[in-house]
Amino acid sequence: MKISIERRPQDSNLMKYLSPLLAVLLTLMAGGVIFTLQGQDPWTGLYTFFILPISDSYGLSELGVKAAPILLCAMGLAVCFRANIWNIGAEGQLLMGALMGSWAALSWMDLEGIWVLPAVLMSGAVAGLLWALIPALLRNHFNTNEILTTIMLNYIALNLLLYAVHGPLKDPHGFNFPESALFTEAVTLPLLLEGTRLHIGLAFGLFAGVCIWVLMTKTFLGFQLKVIGLDVSAGHFAGFRERRLVYFSLLLCGALAGLAGISEVSGPIGQLVPSVSPGYGYAAIIVAFLGRLHPIGILLASLLMALVYMGGEMGQIDLGLPLAMGSLFQGMLLFFLLACDFLISYRFRIRTMSNQPPAHGRNAGVNC
Amino acid sequence: MDMDLITNILFAMVRTGTPLLLVALGELVCEKSGVLNLGQEGMMLMGAVIGFIAAITTGSLIFGVIMSLIVGMAMALLFGLLVIQLRANQVATGLALTIFGAGLSAYVGTDYIGQALAGFQPVLIPLLSDIPVLGKALFSQDILVYCSLGIALAIWLFFRFSRPGLVVKAIGESPHSATAVGLPVILTRWLALLFGGAMAGLGGAYLSLAYTPLWAEGMTAGRGWIALALVVFASWKVERVLLGAWLFGLASIMHLVLQGMGASISSNLLATLPYLATIIVLVLLSSNQSRSRLLAPMSLGKPYHPTG
Amino acid sequence: MNGIIKKNKDKSSEIIMPASHEPESSRSLRLESTGAVFENSRSDNHFYRIRCEGITKVYPGVVANDQVSLAIQPGEIHALLGENGAGKSTLMKILYGVTQPDSGHIWFDGQPQPLKSPAHARRLGIGMVFQHFSLFETLTVVENIALSMDKREAGSLKDLARRIEEISSHYGMPIDPHRHVHSLSTGERQRVEIIRCLVQDISLLILDEPTSVLTPQEVSSLFATLRKLAAEGCSLLFISHKLQEVKALCDRATVLRHGKIAGTCDPKTTSTEDMASMMVGSQTTLGQRYSFSSNKVEDKRLAVQGLTEAALGDFGTALQDIHFSVKPGEILGIAGVAGNGQKELIQLLSGERLATSPDFITLDDQAIGKLTPGKRRRLGMAVVPEERLGRGAVPDMSLSENGLLTGFLQNLVSRGFLRQRRIHGFANDVISNFRVKAHGNLADAKSLSGGNLQKFIIGREILQNPKLLICASPTWGVDVGAANLIHQSLIDLRDKGTAIVVLSEDLDELFQVSDRIGALCHGKLSPVKPVTETSINEVGQWMAGVFTNPESEASEQAYALPRGVEPEMEQNIQEKEFTP
């Protein structure tokens, strides 16, 4: 018997959507194996990880809380990735949004007025946008690879955040903890559901999803982004302005990530802390791919990713598993997805020797 | 600034530059063959954690180093399976390797956080280490630093004089032409990739066994990414990788320099320096488009699918 | 006699039979079916350098080779003729061990040989010159050649360089072994490819469309080299679709059509028409001249004045002081071997690259040199680029989306929103008007054959009713039927008053459709003359750079025919006369 790989005559549309499901399934199976290796019952492990966290309404609302920032970042990333712009910097853009938004919030939080909260949110979004402007500028005018610049800017943003909470934005009455003062009501996001932590940030994410769906499927701008992403020379040939498109997608993503950042600090956290983001910006990369860069896929994938975060915490509390289990699941998910994507363009064919016509037998040397 | 300070700065510069040098050399060979592995950070983390665990459980630093080499190669194997065999996107797979390496290293290293280890100690080279200033910087280092210099020399000779070096360069330029003239593209890329993995593992082990002999989650702090930028900075030339690694090492220990000069700046702000330096260097180097295009291996990052 | 070739003749014990000694009967035209030709071949196997029988290769969706048989004697120059897509490349890859056939047998020097790999083929003494060179641009000539040999065989680079010099002087192919390949011209690169084969012991040399990248003059010097090789006993398999060249060079020809043998013949005694009909399967008229422009107006639709641009990067070509103009209702043909500035000229005309001065290019007296492609399209310019997939069309997008790619000015977008119905309608119009074979407007561009995609792209540009059409290599790699349709639609568009510039490597094509013609060489434009006042031979000279750079079009008459037209050239390539 021989297994051979062959290219499909046409990419399989079915596999395009099946592949993420397959990847999730494989991740769950690998997770089961890891639980077993840890000396846990795999079913208990998977249950604790993926069912228990959302088995009550509070858990479900927490899922929305965790999903909100991922959703916002992933929506922006989807636009960048469609345009073949490898923005790895959502994390940094989110952190800058949180940092500058917090600064605005701390400055204005004792003021009265309906404009305060929108202004704070706007500051966060603008900060993210400006942070994304750096790689956009460098790529457009200095031909600098955006992967490396956005990564570097993530580390710089993290260090700036640490500097701020240890220095200028530290709560003067906070017993020297590296945290800002608690935000007042005026700069806190309204809740979607009383009694939960579910805030309006999730609505921002959903709204962004609708807008991006319209952008990518209904507008000429979205079409141009797709062309540039698929085939940059065709875009040049047609006269699309690549630089403008790079600015547009990076700045859009930066603004959304910045909004995610400020929504986190002015929503569930309520103050600026060093650990604003447990890697939401990186998780959003996985989510964007897992969701096939499509808003609905991204929504589902961000819920799954939020669940992985919650499962990691639940596993630590209930089963004493390392918290890093969650990040391990994230890594595996992306890996399995990339592997399964192979099946979109290729298929395995299993041939048994007996299937070959006997006439070919004598050509064994030639036949391959 | 007194002489002692300069000596100490140079000593620290070489030490800090060594993990960058190791990883960048591995990635250089890998990129020369046309494979862009963005997963250096993940491979380094795995090398660091496995090297540390192996060393602390067996008490043998050398065993730790060997395990880090193996785990680096195992990570590269995973990358190769996806990129070379399953033809996945190299950029996305590199990212996946980094995210996976970060998760897996944090997972296996949980129990080892806070444990201490006696790391590699400096080995003084007789006579040479007595040279003022340079003696301490270059000849009073630990064995892995000497190794890194030896490997740099070996790779330089490899590309300069050997036929396999020529083969790697040719495959990196055009895998299609290479196939046409009968050069083993897939095999060469696998070997280059595995070498890169081993070197990244070693670079990680240098951190956890020599530089700061302990394990901390995410302890590589972006060094894998900086090493990638370093290869661009060096225009894929070995001697410039060496120089660049030390320069980046210097940027990373600027706090030492500034403190020596009596300045007091927040350590968090100073920590941004190597990343800022990376960006500035990238901008300076890539602004001349045609030049950078000519220097980079032409098939870099492009998937290669042999037909038939 | 050269030692390198002699060595391998000693190796094989057979008698060398130069092609001219063949019995006359075997050289006459044979149009029998495959089986009949080789009926009695098994008995005299040992007379053949290479023989294959019943070669079949199936790719998903297409039978590339179907029961193909072929035999070549020592010292014979054998042509493999066929249209693009007839299966020539597949057969040649099989004969060089690049791909393995699904079934069939191959004998080399009388021994059954499954050709497992190119390395195996080379060990047997088979050399191959691909159409797309397999050279490494950043390495030197000698390094390139060393890499294709075993380490032991290659020896030191110094010795190898000496051998290269020997061979290059023996066969009249001057080359400096220490130059970097990226600094070589296309013709020189081809020499490196041939020398690379000759440094090894070869007794069969396969050349895939070797002349497609050469000027007529370079072709004649290549032919001299090949004849010398054949005279020394080396067999040659010459793959081409240019009948004139096959007639001039080859002893026998095998014609492939749709993956099957369509016949074998002696090209010296067979008319080009007969060979053409074997290739395309019907009496399609080849090389028919279309009508000339009837426009007598003297306005200039497009004028290029003194266009001078530096080369971009190390692989670019600088353009020097280019002058030409095109009238409404006229086709200007620009000949030239690729890499002589065509790419640069197209990009500058289309606006993908902006000129350094706006006045270098004017459209209806408006300076457009610094306008973006989008603005030029608004002024009525349309462009058919050379690369179809990856410039002219996005491979992974549907035909509808590819219609929108440049057709967005045809009311397909309203206030930034897409008008889906019109977008599909536009694509359907192109598909039906230009007989594009595709599974509807939602088929991906990459699923179309080269010819159909080209029809789609040209149709997309023509349906926008441009005032000016820039068209690069309109029929490259396209079958005869599609080529005729494309040519006819260009003529029709011209007759509607559009100014058209056609850039092509194919001189026959330019002489079929152009009203006036010029040639690019090293970034300079030759004089531009009416087609009726020049000849293929003269344009060939221009392509090789033999012209005095005219100050302007007015001084064209001052141009004198250069001396030193090679006599062989005139023999090989039939001069075409055009009388209006």
A233 in contact with C, Cβ within 8 Å: yes
Position C35 pLDDT exceeds 60? no
For chain C, the residue count is 580
Query: What is the rounded average pLDDT of the residues B81-90?
Result: 86
What are the structure tokens assigned to C213, written together?
């990248």
Expressed as residue numbers, the domain containing B161 is 3-295
- Residues of C with Cβ-Cβ distance to B294 under 8 angstroms: 313-314
Q: Is the pLDDT of residue C276 over 80?
A: no
Q: What are the residues whose beta carbons fall under 8 Å from the beta carbon of C159, sequence distance 6 or more? A: none
- CB nearest to B167's CB, from C119, C135, C147: C147
Polymer length in residues for chain A: 368
ipTM over 0.90: no
**Mean pLDDT for chain A overall:** 88
The reply to whether B305 falls in a domain is: no
Interface mutation target, options A7, A133, A156, chain B, most CBs of B under 10 Å? A156
Question: What's the confidence (pLDDT) of residue A266?
Answer: 92
**pLDDT value of residue C228:** 92
Confidence at residue B209, expressed as pLDDT on a 0 to 100 scale: 93
Q: Which of A88, A141, A142 faces B95 most closely, judged by CB atoms?
A: A88
The stretch B166-179 carries a mean pLDDT of 90
- On whether any CB of chain B is under 8 Å from the CB of C58, the answer is no
Q: What DSSP string runs through C126-178? A: EEEE-SS----TTSBHHHHHHHTS-HHHH--HHHHHHHHHHHHHHTT----TT
* Full set of structural domains in chain C with CATH: 3-125+201-280 (3.40.50.300), 302-380+466-572 (3.40.50.300), 395-460 (no CATH)
Q: What is the mean pLDDT of chain C?
A: 80
Considering only CB atoms, which chain B residues are within 8 Å of A86? 91
Flag whether B301 is in a domain. no
A135 band by pLDDT with thresholds 50, 70 and 90? very high
- Two structure tokens written together for C212: 């497609």
Domain edges within chain A: 1-40+327-355, 68-292
> Does position B77 have pLDDT exceeding 60, yes or no?
yes
pLDDT in tens, C89-105: 889 889 988 888 999 99
- Judged by CB atoms closer than 8 Å, whether chains meet at A363 and C373 is answered as no
Residues A236-246, mean pLDDT to the nearest whole number: 92
Contacts of C393 in chain A (CB under 8 A): 234
Nearest chain C residue (CA) to A225: C405
- The model's pLDDT over C294-311, given as tens digits with 9 standing for 90+, comes to 777 778 899 999 999 988
Mean pLDDT of B39-62: 94
Q: Which among B167, B182, B293 has the least Cβ separation from residue C118?
A: B182
Distance from CA of A213 to the nearest CA of B (A): 23
> Is some CB atom of chain A closer than 8 A to the CB atom of B92?
yes
Identify all chain A residues contacting C409, using CB atoms and an 8 Å cutoff: none
Listed by number, the residues of chain B in 252-291 with a beta carbon closer than 8 Å to a beta carbon of chain A are 266, 268-269, 271-272, 275-276, 278-279, 282-283, 286-287, 289
Q: How confident is the model at residue B201 (pLDDT cuts 50, 70, 90)?
A: very high
DSSP per-residue codes, B160-176: HH-HHHHHHHHHHH-HH
Asked whether residue B276 is assigned to any structural domain, the reply reads yes
Exposure string (b/e) for A109-140, b if CB count within 10 Å is 16 or more? beeeeeebbebbbbbbbbbbbbbbebbbbbbb
Tally of structural domains, chain B: 1
pLDDT reading at C11 higher than 60: no
* Strand C235-240, strand C204-208: pairing: parallel
At C360, the pLDDT band (50, 70, 90 cuts) reads very high
What pLDDT, on the 0 to 100 scale, is given for residue C87? 83
CA-closest candidate to residue C535, choices C578, C505, C501: C578
Residue C552: what pLDDT? 41
CA distance C408 to chain A (A): 9
Q: B30 falls in which pLDDT band (50, 70, 90)? A: very high
Residue C6: the pLDDT is 39
Percent of chain B with pLDDT over 90: 50
pLDDT exceeds 50 at position A34: yes
Residue B126 lies in a domain: yes
Per-residue pLDDT at C47: 79
**Of all residues in chain C, what percent carry a pLDDT higher than 70?**
84
- A156 vs B contacts (CB less than 8 Å): 272, 275-276
Q: What is the pLDDT of residue C22?
A: 39
pTM of the model: 0.83
More confident: A329 or C11: A329
pLDDT at A353: 52
CATH number, domain with residue B12: 1.10.3470
Question: B176 contacts in C (CB within 8 Å)?
Answer: 132, 134
CB atoms closer than 10 angstroms to residue C547: 22
pLDDT at position C58 is 85
Lowest mean pLDDT among A93-97, A309-313, C338-342: C338-342
Residue in chain C lying closest to A6 (CA): C60
pLDDT of residue C558: 34
Position C503 scores a pLDDT of 94
Nearest to C371 by CA among A242, A227, A241, A233: A241
Interface of B with A in 102-121 (CB under 8 A): 102-104, 106-107, 109-110
Q: Which two tokens stand for residue C257?
A: 């059509």
Q: Which residue of C has its CA nearest to A366?
A: C114
Hey, is C33 helix, strand or coil? coil
If you write DSSP's letter for every residue of C397-466 in order, what string do you get? Answer: SBHHHHHHHHHTTTTTEETTEE-HHHHHHHHHHHHHHTT--SSSTTSBGGGS-HHHHHHHHHHHHHTT--
Residue C334, pLDDT > 60, answer yes
Q: Provide the pLDDT confidence category of residue C42 given band limits of 50, 70 and 90.
A: very low
**Secondary element (H or E) of residue B30:** helix B3-32
- The whole-angstrom separation of Cα A213 and Cα A206 is 11
How sure is the predictor about A352, in pLDDT bands with cuts at 50, 70 and 90?
Answer: low
Cα–Cα distance for residue pair C563/C571, rounded to 1 Å: 17
A90 or B256, which is more confident? A90
Residue B130 falls inside a structural domain:
yes
Q: Which residues of chain A lie closer than 8 angstroms to B87, CB-CB?
A: 342, 345-346
CA-based nearest residue to B134, from B13, B25, B234, B215 = B13
Point out the residue among C100, C119, C136 whose CB comes nearest to the CB of B182: C119
Mean pLDDT value across residues B53-62: 93
Question: Is B290 within 8 Å of C312 when comparing Cβ atoms?
Answer: yes
Average pLDDT over residues A59-82: 94
**Alpha-carbon distance A138 to C500, whole Å?**
40
> What number is the average pLDDT over the span C445-449?
84
Q: Using CB atoms, which chains have 3+ pairs under 8 A with A?
A: B, C
* Partner-chain contact B182 C146, CB within 8 Å: no
Which of A6, A10, A219 is opposite residue C417, by nearest beta carbon?
Answer: A219
